[in-house]
Chains A and B, each alone.
Chain A
Amino acid sequence: MPIFKNPNFDFLKWRWPAVGLSILIIVAGVVTVATQGGLRLGIDFSGGTIVIVKFDAPVTEDAVRAAISGVADENVVQRYGTVDANEILIRLPQGGPEEGTSLEEGANAVVAALGQSSVGGFTVIGQELVGPVIGEALKSRGINAFLFAMFGILVYIGLRFRFSFAVGAIIAVAHDILVTLSILTFVGYELSLNVVAAMLTITGYSVNDSIVVFDRVRENLRRMRLDTFDTLVNTSINQTLSRTIITSGTTAFAVLALFLFGGEVLRGFAFTMLVGVISGTYSTIFIAAAAAIVISERRASRRAHATAGRAQTTSKPKRRTRKTRVRA
Chain B
Amino acid sequence: MAKNLRWKVLTIIGVVVAAGAAVYPPEDRIRLGLDLRGGVHMVLRVQTDDALRLETETVGEQLREQASLGGISLSSTVAVSPTELRIEGVPPDRDQELRQIADDLLQASYDRDSEPGGVYTFRMRPGVERALREEAVRQALQTIERRVNELGVAEPIVAPHGVGGDQILVQLPGVDDVARAKEIIRSTALLELKLVEEGPAPSREMLLQTRSGVVPPDLEVVTGADQSAGPGVGSTAYYLVRLVAPVTGRDLRNARPTIDEYNQPAISFSFNREGARKFGNFTGANVGRSLAVIMDDRVYSAAVIQERIADEGRITGTFSQEEASDLALILRSGALPASLTYLEERTVGPTLGADSIRAGVIASITGLVAVALFMLVYYRLSGINAVVAVALNLLILLGCMAYIGAVLTLPGIAGFILTIGMGVDSNVLIFERIKEELGSAKGVRAAVSAGFDRVFLTILDTHIASLIAAAFLFQFGSGPIKGFATTLFFGLVSNVFTAVFVSRTIFEAILTRRREATLSI
- Check if B472 sits within 8 Å of A152, measured CB to CB: yes
Known: A137-B162, A207-B465, A254-B368. A263 touches B363 (CB 8 A): yes
A19 on the interface (CB 8 Å rule)? Answer: no
B5 on the interface (CB 8 Å rule)? Answer: no
Stretch touching chain B among A68-76, A189-197, A285-293: A189-197
B342 on the interface (CB 8 Å rule)? Answer: yes
| Size bracket, chain B contacts | 35 or more
- Check if A126 sits within 8 Å of B349, measured CB to CB: yes
List the A side residues contacting B378 at CB < 8 Å.
1, 246
- Check if B355 sits within 8 Å of A263, measured CB to CB: yes
Known: A148-B472, A148-B476, A204-B488. A99 touches B424 (CB 8 A): no
- Check if A104 sits within 8 Å of B421, measured CB to CB: no
- Check if B367 sits within 8 Å of A254, measured CB to CB: yes
Q: In whole angstroms, what is the CA distance A262 to B468 when docked?
A: 30
* CB contact between A137 and one of B345, B420, B478 (< 8 Å): that residue: B478
CB-contacts of A224-271 with B (<8 A): 239-240, 242-243, 246-247, 249-251, 253-258, 260-266, 269-270
Q: In whole angstroms, what is the CA distance A193 to B471 when docked?
A: 19
- Check if A197 sits within 8 Å of B481, measured CB to CB: yes
CB distance from A136 to the nearest CB of B (A): 10
Known: A142-B477, A197-B480. A126 touches B162 (CB 8 A): no
Stretch touching chain A among B142-150, B397-405, B456-464: B456-464
List the B side residues contacting A141 at CB < 8 Å.
476-478, 481
List the B side residues contacting A197 at CB < 8 Å.
410-411, 414, 480-481, 484
A325 on the interface (CB 8 Å rule)? Answer: no
- Check if B469 sits within 8 Å of A149, measured CB to CB: yes
Chain A residue nearest in CB terms to B374: A250
- Check if B410 sits within 8 Å of A265, measured CB to CB: yes
- Check if A200 sits within 8 Å of B481, measured CB to CB: yes
- Check if A257 sits within 8 Å of B363, measured CB to CB: yes
| Size bracket, chain A contacts | 35 or more
- Check if B476 sits within 8 Å of A145, measured CB to CB: yes
- Check if B344 sits within 8 Å of A134, measured CB to CB: yes
List the A side residues contacting B130 at CB < 8 Å.
none
CB distance from B282 to the nearest CB of A (A): 32
List the B side residues contacting A254 at CB < 8 Å.
367-368, 370-371, 417, 420-421
Known: A204-B488, A205-B418. A250 touches B375 (CB 8 A): yes
A166-201: CB near B (< 8 Å → 1, else 0) gives 000000000000000000000000000110111011
Q: In whole angstroms, what is the CA distance A196 to B342 when docked?
A: 24
Known: A153-B465, A215-B457, A263-B363. A253 touches B347 (CB 8 A): no
B473 on the interface (CB 8 Å rule)? Answer: yes
Q: In whole angstroms, what is the CA distance A208 to B477 when docked?
A: 21
Chain A residue nearest in CB terms to B370: A253
List the A side residues contacting B371 at CB < 8 Å.
250, 253-254
Known: A54-B351, A145-B476, A208-B422. A130 touches B363 (CB 8 A): no
7 more A-B contacts (CB under 8 A) besides A129-B346, A256-B367? A1-B378, A101-B341, A137-B163, A145-B475, A193-B411, A207-B465, A207-B469
- Interface residue ranges, B against A (CB under 8 Å): 35, 43, 45, 162-163, 178, 186, 341-349, 351-352, 355-356, 358-360, 362-364, 366-368, 370-371, 374-375, 378, 410-411, 413-415, 417-418, 420-422, 424-425, 428-429, 432, 435-436, 454, 457-458, 461-462, 464-466, 468-473, 475-478, 480-481, 484, 488
Provide a sorted-by-A list of 9 A–B residue pairs whose CB atoms are within 8 angstroms. Answer: A103-B344, A148-B472, A156-B464, A211-B462, A250-B370, A250-B428, A257-B370, A260-B363, A261-B359
